Amino acid sequence: MTILIAPDKFKGSLTAQQVCDEIKRALLEWNGALNIVTLPMADGGEGSCELLTSSSNGKYITASVHDPLFRNIDARYGISKDNRTAFLEMATASGLQLLKKHERNPMQTTTLGIGELIAHALDLGVKEIILGIGGSATNDAGMGMAEALGVQFLSTEGERLKPVGENLRYIHTLDLTNVHTKLSTTAFTIFCDVDNPLYGPRGAAHVFAPQKGANEEMIQILDEGLMHYSSLLEKTFGRTVNFPGAGAGGGLPASLKVLTNLKVVPGMDFIIKFLKLDEHVRHADIVITGEGKVDEQTLSGKVVSGIARLAKKYDKALFVVAGTCELPEHRLEQLNIRKLITLTNPNVPEDYSMKNAAILLNQRIKEELVQHLTD
Ligand SMILES: O=C(O)[C@H](O)CO
């Protein structure tokens, strides 16, 4: 029997690799003859750069860049073994996790750092850049990133503007004289965690700026800035930049769209294709996936729903392991799960379950999954 184990991380307690290892150990303790394939997963968000780098037998490169508040930090990206492809995650250089809560302010934050990482990879001579965006602290529509790649943003008076969200509304001209020469010859793919447009009620400012520290007044200013920048880019380059996904990462895809030959794809679809997951699921008899918390978000393009889609396509029995499940039974039906196994229990405090997730996982697999397979 071939069993595929392809879970996401259990955020705050186990990495995807640890979840794989624990499930595998429990199953082999039951039956050492099982053929087990483990594939630690990510959905395009946190952990994707590691996933893509390790599945390409790649290595990591560290560069000194600027964080969202222009402070120096070291950030890393992956590069494939053949040095052809670089794998970057926006959040490593421009992410919310780099700021303390009181520092969050999308009027003053920049994507300069992720642009510097891109420039570093271009200087190394990669032919392809794959960039995961989301979890950002910014709403500058990629202005900082573009500046790191050689664009200068000028005001009506011809003065250089600092690349932060607040200044989008003041951009009058883009000076492209010193734009990085490799931008036009390098393939760019962005994978996004959301499909929001650049501006408007579902745009970057209205939907994501509040979590980055914006109040109502800032949201209005940022949204107007995005609208202004969008029409300037359309006039200058003749390309539409208010497309689905342009509102991800504080609007960064808008700038990349006009500077490169950009492809924008949903994160999970990209990972499924990159890891050839179709093949793995097709060859398995049983598929096990999971994540820390199964909830409404699980149903919209996360690892569990992506794997569930494939299990359904190839008619494979699907088992889901979760720290907790907050979805009612009828919402779970669409995932077509043979059995859902949860680690938490109403009588046990959540932090106990989080701390002891590895032990609990081993126990539950033996008690519930093995039991089910034996029956
Ligand atoms: O970074 C952000 O703005 C959100 O994660 C949506 O992409």
| 45 compared with 227, residue with greater pLDDT | 227
Q: Whose CA is nearest to atom 4 of ligand 1?
A: 134
pTM of the model: 0.85
Same domain, 243 and 158: yes
Instruction: For residue 8, report the distance from its CA to the centre of ligand 1, in Å.
Output: 19
Residue 45 clears pLDDT 80, i.e. is over it: no
Q: Which two tokens stand for residue 284?
A: 């398995």
Please give the average per-residue pLDDT across 88-110, as a whole number.
96
Q: Could you say which of 268, 302, 317 is where a domain stops?
A: 268
Mutate to test the pocket of ligand 1, among 43, 96, 136, 140 (most ligand atoms within 8 A of CB): 136
Residue 103 DSSP one-character state = G
Instruction: For residue 245, report the distance from its CA to the centre of ligand 1, in Å.
Output: 10
What does DSSP say about strands 152-154 and 2-5: parallel, antiparallel, or unpaired?
unpaired
Same domain, 82 and 202: yes
SS3 assignment, position 369: helix
Residue 11 clears pLDDT 90, i.e. is over it: no
DSSP string, 73-100: EEEEEEE-TTS-EEEEEHHHHHBGGGS-
Q: Looking at residue 165, what is its pLDDT?
A: 98
What is the arrangement of strands in the sheet containing 2-5, beginning at the earlier edge strand? Answer: 35-38, 2-5, 286-294, 317-325, 339-342
Q: Spell out which residues line ligand 1, taking CB within 6 angstroms.
A: 133-136, 193-194, 208, 248-250
- The rounded percent of the chain whose pLDDT value lies above 90 is 87
For residue 133, the ligand 1 atom closest to its alpha carbon is 7
Same domain, 31 and 128: no
Q: Looking at residue 357, what is its pLDDT?
A: 94
Residue 250 DSSP one-character state = G
Same domain, 66 and 154: yes
Mutate to test the pocket of ligand 1, among 89, 193, 265 (most ligand atoms within 8 A of CB): 193
Q: Where are the alpha helices (DSSP H) in the chain?
A: 16-30, 48-55, 90-94, 112-124, 143-148, 204-208, 216-237, 253-259, 267-274, 277-283, 303-313, 329-332, 350-355, 357-364, 371-374
Q: Domains in the chain: how many in total?
A: 2
For residue 250, the ligand 1 atom closest to its alpha carbon is 3
Q: Could you say which of 212, 238, 268 is where a domain stops?
A: 268
How confident is the prediction for the chain on average, in pLDDT? 95
Same domain, 64 and 206: yes
Residue 53 clears pLDDT 90, i.e. is over it: yes
Instruction: For residue 338, report the distance from its CA to the centre of ligand 1, in Å.
Output: 33
Q: Looking at residue 365, what is its pLDDT?
A: 96
Same domain, 292 and 223: no
Same domain, 188 and 297: no
Instruction: For residue 168, report the distance from its CA to the centre of ligand 1, in Å.
Output: 18
Q: Looking at residue 46, what is its pLDDT?
A: 78
Residue 48 clears pLDDT 90, i.e. is over it: no
Q: Whose CA is nearest to atom 3 of ligand 1?
A: 249
Please give the average per-residue pLDDT across 172-193, as a whole number.
95
Q: Looking at residue 372, what is its pLDDT?
A: 85
- The rounded percent of the chain whose pLDDT value lies above 70 is 100
Same domain, 320 and 249: no
Per-residue confidence band for 322, with pLDDT thresholds at 50, 70 and 90: very high
**Identity (one letter) of the amino acid at 99?**
L
Closest listed residue to residue 194, CA positions, set 322, 337, 301, 345? 301
Instruction: For residue 240, report the distance from its CA to the centre of ligand 1, in Å.
Output: 20
The CA distance from 324 to 357, in Å, is: 11
Q: Could you say which of 268, 288, 311 is where a domain stops?
A: 268
For residue 91, the ligand 1 atom closest to its alpha carbon is 1
For residue 248, the ligand 1 atom closest to its alpha carbon is 7
Mutate to test the pocket of ligand 1, among 109, 114, 133, 223 (most ligand atoms within 8 A of CB): 133
Give the CATH number of the domain where residue 358 resides. 3.40.50.10350
For residue 192, the ligand 1 atom closest to its alpha carbon is 7
Same domain, 202 and 282: no
Which residues, other chains included, contact 339 with Cβ-Cβ below 8 Å and sequence gap of 6+?
A: 319, 320, 368, 369, 372
Tens digits of per-residue pLDDT, 266-306? 888 899 999 999 999 999 999 999 999 999 888 877 899 99
Give the CATH number of the domain where residue 255 resides. 3.90.1510.10
Tens digits of per-residue pLDDT, 340-372? 999 988 887 888 888 999 999 999 999 999 988
Contact 306, 271 (CB under 8 A): yes
Mutate to test the pocket of ligand 1, among 90, 96, 208, 212 (most ligand atoms within 8 A of CB): 208
The CA distance from 203 to 144, in Å, is: 19
**Positive/negative CA dihedral, 51, 52, 58, 62:** negative
The CA distance from 75 to 63, in Å, is: 6
Per-residue confidence band for 64, with pLDDT thresholds at 50, 70 and 90: very high
Same domain, 83 and 156: yes
- List the domain range (segments joined by +) for residue 201: 48-268
Q: Residue holding tokens 């290892």?
A: 21
Residue 42 clears pLDDT 90, i.e. is over it: no
Please give the average per-residue pLDDT across 4-8, as a whole number.
96
Same domain, 21 and 159: no
Residue 44 clears pLDDT 80, i.e. is over it: no
Same domain, 281 and 247: no
Which residue pairs from 333-340 have beta carbons closer than 8 angstroms and sit at least 24 positions apart in sequence? 334/299, 335/298, 335/299, 335/304, 335/305, 335/308, 336/308, 336/311, 336/312, 337/308, 338/372, 339/368, 339/369, 339/372, 340/294
